[in-house]
């Protein structure tokens, strides 16, 4: 069967010092869908994509990565975009021009698993439809994954993101966040303590921490892994690559529950996801790896 990914698809217009702007396909759910398909997981992306040049860029990228696209109605007047400005360390900040107003979403019952996250879960009116689909999938026993991927430049109120987390997380078996997300959602809480607490309630929970590596927990088991060594070009899409690799690993093992994973398996999962993120950091834009790049 196929994994359903729902949310924003957009073009990252990357601004680098002294160079012309570079358009790259992006959007967190879009990147996760591409990353999953490149790791040999059948994937359908449900997103609003326009009929303009940016929309054609997104459709070509999905086709090349073997992602099926369901274009949600109504078609937007222009495809969403984000101007990404890079800092000296390769990290990016974003200024968004986004449409998220789908009239309806696919039926979760037709899919093996569902992934949601980022702006698709936070921006109305589409966010309410996404929340409803997540609850429906959970009620049917379909695994749900969630990456809050907080974007304060679009929705600046932390309380909105916190309410979204409180709505979606109880229905998600797999949660991934960055340390920056955690600072908005759970300000001041220690990352390891936070992962331990969330994993006790929500299943498999991972937190990426940039140069400090990652923390992952499942049930009562929590492990830390160091970052993979890499020459960073930029960090665009790194967290999404981590997310998609997590999901691909879980799909390979038939979506294990938190109680089925021990420390060795959790470490293997985190290292696999970290390696995918590192490869993405080594090249421009959100360009996740394929299976052959992660196989020794």
pLDDT in the model for residue 92: 65
Which of 78, 84, 141 lies closest to 113, judged by CA? 141
Sign of CA dihedral 95, 99, 105, 106: negative
What CATH class is the domain 3-288?
A: alpha beta
pLDDT at 215: 97
The β-bridge relationship of strands 221-225 and 214-218 is antiparallel
Token pair 């702007």: residue: 21
pTM of the predicted structure, to 2 decimals? 0.93
Terminal-residue alpha carbon distance, the chain = 27
Whole-number pLDDT of residue 22: 79
Domain locations along the chain: 3-288
Q: Cα–Cα distances in Å, from 235 out to 31, 114, 163? A: 13, 25, 27
Evaluate whether 165 touches 185 at the Cβ level (below 8 Å): yes
Mean pLDDT, 10 residues at a time, the chain of 296 residues = 95 74 88 97 97 95 97 94 73 79 97 97 96 98 97 93 97 97 97 95 92 93 89 85 97 93 96 93 86 81
């Amino acid at each position: 069967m196929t994994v359903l990914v729902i949310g924003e698809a957009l073009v990252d217009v990357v601004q680098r010092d002294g160079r012309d702007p570079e358009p790259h396909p992006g959007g967190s759910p879009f990147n996760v869908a591409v990353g999953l398909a490149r790791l040999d997981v059948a994937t359908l992306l449900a997103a609003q994509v326009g009929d303009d040049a940016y929309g054609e860029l997104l459709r070509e990228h999905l086709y090349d990565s073997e992602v099926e696209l369901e274009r949600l109605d109504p078609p937007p007047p222009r495809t969403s975009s984000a101007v990404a400005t890079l800092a000296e360390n390769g990290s990016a900040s974003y200024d968004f021009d986004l449409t998220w107003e789908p009239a309806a979403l696919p039926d979760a019952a037709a899919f093996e698993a569902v992934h949601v996250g980022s702006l698709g879960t936070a921006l109305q009116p589409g966010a309410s439809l996404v929340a409803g689909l997540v609850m429906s999938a959970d009620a049917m026993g379909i695994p749900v994954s969630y990456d809050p991927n907080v974007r304060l430049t679009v929705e600046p109120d932390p309380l909105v993101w916190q309410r979204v987390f409180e709505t979606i997380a109880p229905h998600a078996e797999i949660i991934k966040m960055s340390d920056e997300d955690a600072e908005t959602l759970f300000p001041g809480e220690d990352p390891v303590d936070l992962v331990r607490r969330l994993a006790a309630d929500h299943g498999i929970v991972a937190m990426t921490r940039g140069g400090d590596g990652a923390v992952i927990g499942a049930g009562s088991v929590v492990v830390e892994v160091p970052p993979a060594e890499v020459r960073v070009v930029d960090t665009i899409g790194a967290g999404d690559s981590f997310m998609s690799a997590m999901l691909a690993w879980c799909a390979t093992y038939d979506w294990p529950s938190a109680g089925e994973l021990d420390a060795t398996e959790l470490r293997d999962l985190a290292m696999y996801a970290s390696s995918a993120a590192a490869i993405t950091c080594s090249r421009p834009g959100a360009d996740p790896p394929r299976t052959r790049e992660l196989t020794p």
